[in-house]
Each structure stands twice: as C-alpha cells, then as structure tokens.
Amino acid sequence: MSDNRELQEMYRRTVLEHSRHPRNFRRLDAPDRIAEGFNPLCGDKITVYLDLGQESIQAITFEGTGCAISLASASMMMEAIQGQPLLEAREKAQRAQDMFQSDAESAAQSDIEGLQALGGVRAYPSRIKCATLAWKTLQAALNDTTGAAQVSTE
C-alpha cells in the first residue's frame, strides 16, 4: 500500500473514531475560562472549557456541533492538551494551526499525537477552518482573562 493511501486510511479511521466518540465531550463544572468558536462558512460551533491550575491545564472539555473534521480535531486536542503546562498548550495550539497551513512533509512530522491524520484537509482550503476552529478557540480561552472569549473563523 502506498504511503498516500495509508495516510488516507488513517485519516478516515481517526476522523471517524474521534467524531463518533469525541473525548471530553461535556460541559465542565465551574470552569475558569470559556471560549466559544464559530465557523460561519459551515456552521461549526465549539465551546472550550478550561480549569486552570497555577501553571497547567487541570481539565479541558468541549461541547459543539459541526462536521466530522471539526469534532475530530477538537477531540484530538483534548487528548493533546489535558494536563499540559500553559506555555506548552499555547505552543501546541499554534503548531497545530501552522501544521494545517504548511506542506505535507511538515504536517507528517507534527509532534502532536494523532493530528497527522487530519493533515489531508490542507488539500481543501475551506476545510482548514473546520480543523483549526477548536485550536483557535483554545488559544482564545488561554489568552482571555475575562473568562468568556469568542472566536470566528471569518
């Protein structure tokens, strides 16, 4: 099987698994930060809830509706960010967004576990916003000290 075909199969399996059974898909009781993200192009909506410790993310959950790519990306983000130091979480959020904008070779070398499976969305520019919505929403939650940020992918 060619590398491209294997990557496509991994993409299908991973996206389907995460979109059908998203990780940490629930409202967090008494979150420190909440951010809402919206993609007006396709209607995806993601709300990220954070419970922050002194220097790390104690808990992260999300709720949302949208396409399989949007939900899968948010679910993968839950696994990648839970328990991370705040600085590292910010860096991962930026690297994830950069990965979706970069070339295939850079994406294949992403150090964010499982996210390589979503690398195929780069071939469909309108789908990049679906894949990055959760990550942009996380960044807004981390950067907004008011506790209720909003993001739009317009």
Q: How far apart are CA 87 and CA 83, in angstroms?
A: 12
> Residue 107: pLDDT above 50?
no
Work out the angle at residue 54's Cα, subtended by the Cα atoms of residues 73 and 45, and round it to the nearest 5 degrees.
25
pLDDT tens digits, residue range 50-63? 999 889 999 999 99
Sheet holding 148-152, edge to edge: 57-65, 44-52, 33-39, 148-152
pLDDT mean over 25-42 = 94
Closest CA to 35 of 154, 146, 153: 146
Distance of CA 119 to the CA centre of its chain: 13
CATH topology of domain 3-152: Sufe protein. Chain: A (3.90.1010)
Return phi, psi of residue 37, to 5°.
-120, 145
Tokens of 139: 């960044």
pLDDT tens digits, residue range 129-146? 999 999 999 999 999 877
Closest CA to 7 of 114, 92, 143: 114
> Residue 105: pLDDT above 70?
no
- Strand-pair category, 57-65 with 148-152: unpaired
Model confidence, pTM = 0.86
